[in-house]
Every structure is written in C-alpha cells, then in structure tokens.
Amino acid sequence: MNTVKKIVAVAGAAAMLASVAACGSGSDTAGGDTKEISFQTWNLKNEKYTPYFEGLIKEYEKDHPDVKIKWMDQPSDGYEDKLSTQAASGELPDIVDGGASILYSLAKAGALLNLSKEVPDAEGDYYEGAWGGATMTGNGIEEGAYGFPWYVNDGPTYWNKSLMQQCGLDPNHVPTTWDEWFAAGKTITQNCDGIYLGTTMGYNAEDLVTAGATFMNKDHSKYTFNDEAGVEQLEKFVESYKEGAIPPEALDASWSQAGDLFQRGNLVAMAGSAYSAAGFKQNAPELYKNLTVGPRITNDGRSASVSYELLGISSQSKHPDEAIDFARFVTNAKNQVEFAKQASVFPSAKGGLEDAYYQDIDDSTLEGQALKITLEQVKTGYSSRPAEFTDANGYKYFQQQIALAMQGKQTAKEALDKTVQFANERLSK
C-alpha cells in the first residue's frame, strides 16, 4: 500500500516537472529575419482595451512585415518591482510604459535612450508641455526626452451638491481659488459635523505650486518649494486641518482611500480624474446623481496636476530603430485619440485635442462635463511634480513631514525646509 502511494507520488512529481520543463523550453522566440520588439504596457490588457491594442499591432505588422510586436502587459500591483527586476537582469522590454518618475529612475541608470538625440524631429509631433514633461535634465543625466509622450491625465474637482447645501455652501457656485476653498472649509466645519471639505492638504506638488510656490529652480539643481508662497499655503492647510475640514485619515491616505471617503459621503469635494465620473456611476449610483464638477483649485487658472504617461525605449534594445518607430506609431495623433476616447484620458500628440470628438463634447452628463473641464485644463496646464521628485528621492519624505506639520509636531516651515534639504541631498547623489 505504502509502496503504491510512493510510486504514484514520485511518478506524479516527475511528470509534473517534465511537463513544466517542456513548457518552459517551448516558448523560445522565433529566429529568422523577423525583428521582435517587446512592448510593455501597465495594466491595460482587459476586455476594454485589448481589442484596441491588438488592432494597433495588427495594423503595424501589416505595414512592417519584418517586425513582430510582442505585447506584454503587467498587472496592476508591483509594477515597479517588476521593472526593477527587468532592469537589473538586463531584460528591460524594448518599449516601456511608465510615468515620468519611473522613466527618470531608469534614464538615470542609463537604461533608456535619449530620444532628443536619437530622433530630433520627434519633438515637433507632440504638444510642447507634453514633450517638456518627458524631458529630463540635471544631476548626471544628459538633457533630453527619455520617453515619447503618450496619454495625458488630469481631472476636475468633484463636488457633492447635497452635502454643499447641507453645510451652507451654494452648489451653483463651486470654489475655484484657494481663498474660496479655505473659506468653504470654514463654512463646512461651522455647519456640519463629521463632514469634511476634502483630503487635499499639500501632499502633492500642485497643491503648493498652484498657490504661487516654485517647486524647483530652472536648471533642476535645487528644490525651492520652501519659498514664502509654499510655506504660507501649507500654513493654511495646517489651519484648515485644525479646524476639522480635513479628515485625519487623509494623513496616511492614498488616492484610492480618498475615493472611498468621497463615495461614502464624508467629503464635500474630491480632486479626481475625468474618468472618475464613470466610476462613481458604477459604484455609488446615488451619489453620482448629486455630483457636480468644477475646475481644479488654482490661483492662476492653470492646472498644475497634468500628468503624462510616457513610452521609453530601452538602451539595450537590439532593434532600437524599429522600437522607436513603433512607439511613435502608438503615440501618433490618430492612435492616441482613439485610445483617449475609450479611456477618458487625453492625447499628447499635436492635433489630437483638435479632433472633432473634443470640439463637440456632450455635456449633459457628468462624464461629459468632467471631460470638458479637463480638456481646458490639459490645454493650458502643466505638470508641477518634477520627474526627479520620485518616491524614494523626496516625495514620500515630503508627505511624512507634512503629516507631522498637520499634527502640530512641527511648523509648516520646518516641514518644508527639512524636505528641501533631504531632497537636495538625494538629488546630488
């Protein structure tokens, strides 16, 4: 009896190992004269976007029979861990999708091509702000763009109308400047209990920059957000926190947490994305009916929260020309507009925003209104968070120091001074 069990167990294990080994060796890439380009996106393979990418690849391969595109898509979580391993083991895909700070980290290690140098004519294909968002400089990095601008994201401020009414605000008149914003916070705390204005509190570069602070000097050698305007703005947030207009959970809340609070009806306002409207409709249908949108809060009317998704090209690529060509194909105006329409994001290629789709947005729905406001922001706005202000090199520390200021453990000025010193040290390394 025991022997039989043993044989079965051993045979089973052996068969499994054999099948696994066979499986592994079978997946080698096809040789020949076709050039294989690996194209890695981040969490875009699903029922909604897969047809788009498959169509895109098919179209390109038809025109370029000698090129084969291998589309890889990484799951939502752990993207930076995956990228680190790929970079450390020399297996970075030819084309990598990432935000500015991810590409900055790769570029600084020499893992990406300087596209301004490789294809100087590409600059003219994209909006100036977008190309600027991909351009990196200073501190051991050769100045240039290290990624082709891809989709652009920004969003309006969502307002809960019934909470506004209940707490003494006029839903037809949403705040748009910081003075109005802080005044709204005061009104809410006077009239309502357990209701907060929002989770915005200086955790993002744009919260300071839109009030007049300068985040970094021109040649990107020093951070400067501890200037007078920056400190004054943070002091106002601290004041607002003390009054009770900001929920304590915001101190360690990530963006998704803010969404939870808003959808549960604890927040009057939330800075979201254009596509958030569809999410509210799906997850909190009653709240959705009570929402209105306004622009992001700024003093100068220019959004500073525009973010650019980029496509970098690996410096180890065996076929850099083909990789560049395909990345430019993905990011051309026509293909970007098509993707942007589906995802409620925006194109960065020149001419994309003039597409008929954007001329005639149906603003009878919340989604349409959100899209319309964001469109204006994207046209005039910019990204205020420098690529080098990565999580490791200051962003995380920034949030931690601000939290301590909120809790009254240090002054706003101390928090910003400490962060600037920390980030400057990291910058020079």
Partner 1 sequence: MTHAAQAATRPEAVKASGRPEPTNDRRGGKKNHRGALTVIAPYLFVLPAFLVVFVFVVLAALNTFRLAFTDSTLLRPGKFVGIANFVELFHDEYFLTALLNSTLYVVCVVPFMVILPLILANLVKGNGRIMGFFRTAFYMPVVMSAVVVGMIWTNLLDSQGLINSILKTLHIVKESIPFLTDRWLLLFSAMFVTIWLGLGYYMVIYLTALANIDESLYEAAALDGAGPVRQFVSVTMPGVRSTMILIMMLSTIAAFRVFNEVYVLTNGTAGPGGMDMTMSMLIKQEGTGIQARTGYASAISLVVLVIVGTMLIIQQIIQKKTEE
Partner 2 sequence: MAALHRKRITVGKVLQYLVLLLVFLLLVGPFVWEISLSLKGSGDNVYAVPPYLVPKTPTLDNYKRVFDQVPVFHYMLNSLIVACISIVGNIALSTMAGYALGRLKWRGRGFVFALFMGTMVIPLEGVMISQFLIIKGMGLQNTLLACALPGLVGAINILLMTNAFKSIPMELEEAAMVDGANLWQRFWRICVPQVKGTMTVVGIFAFVGAWNDFLWPLIAISDEKNYTLTLGMNRLKGMFIQDPRLIAAGALVSLIPIIIFFCCFQRYFFRGLEQGGLKG
Binding site for partner 1 (CB under 8 A): 80-81, 83-84, 87-88, 102, 105-106, 108-111, 194, 247-249, 251-254, 256-257, 260-261, 264, 266, 390-393, 396, 399-401, 403-404, 406-407, 409
Exposed/middle/buried for 1, CB within 10 Å: 0-12, 13-18, 19+?
exposed
Q: Which is nearer to partner 2, 7 or 17 (CB)?
A: 17
What, of partner 1, partner 2, none, does residue 192 touch, CB below 5 to 8 Å by kind?
A: none
Smallest Cα–Cα separation from 146: which of 109, 171, 188, 197?
Answer: 109
**Six-digit token pair at 405?**
């200021």
Nearest approach in angstroms of CB 20 to partner 2 is 5
Instruction: Compute the half-sphere exposure of residue 174: CA atoms within 13 Å on the CB side of its CA.
Output: 22
Opening angle at CA 11, ends 6 and 15, nearest 5? 155
What, of partner 2, partner 1, none, does residue 169 touch, CB below 5 to 8 Å by kind?
A: none
Residues that bind partner 2 (CB under 8 A): 2, 9, 12-13, 16-17, 19-21, 23-24, 27, 42-48, 72-78, 81-82, 84-85, 88-89, 91, 256, 260, 263-265, 273, 275-276, 278-279, 282-287, 343-345
Nearest approach in angstroms of CB 194 to partner 1 is 7
What, of partner 1, partner 2, none, does residue 52 touch, CB below 5 to 8 Å by kind?
A: none
The set of residues, in sequence order, having a beta carbon less than 8 Å from that of 70 and lying 6+ positions away, is 29, 36, 37, 38, 39
What, of partner 1, partner 2, none, does residue 76 touch, CB below 5 to 8 Å by kind?
A: partner 2
Nearest approach in angstroms of CB 131 to partner 2 is 24
Nearest approach in angstroms of CB 256 to partner 2 is 7
> Collapsing DSSP states into helix, strand and coil, what is residue 38?
strand
Q: Report the distance separating Cα 260 and Cα 281, nearest Å.
A: 14
Q: Which is nearer to partner 1, 218 or 396 (CB)?
A: 396
Q: Which is nearer to partner 2, 43 or 221 (CB)?
A: 43
Dihedral (CA of 406, 411, 417, 418) sign: negative
Amino acid occupying residue 145: A
Nearest approach in angstroms of CB 398 to partner 1 is 11
DSSP track, 289-348: HTEEEEPPP-SSS---B-EEEEEEEBTT-S-HHHHHHHHHHHTSHHHHHHHHHHHT-B--
Nearest approach in angstroms of CB 268 to partner 1 is 14
Q: Are 119 and 322 in contact (CB under 8 A)?
A: no
Nearest approach in angstroms of CB 404 to partner 1 is 4
What, of partner 2, partner 1, none, does residue 263 touch, CB below 5 to 8 Å by kind?
A: partner 2
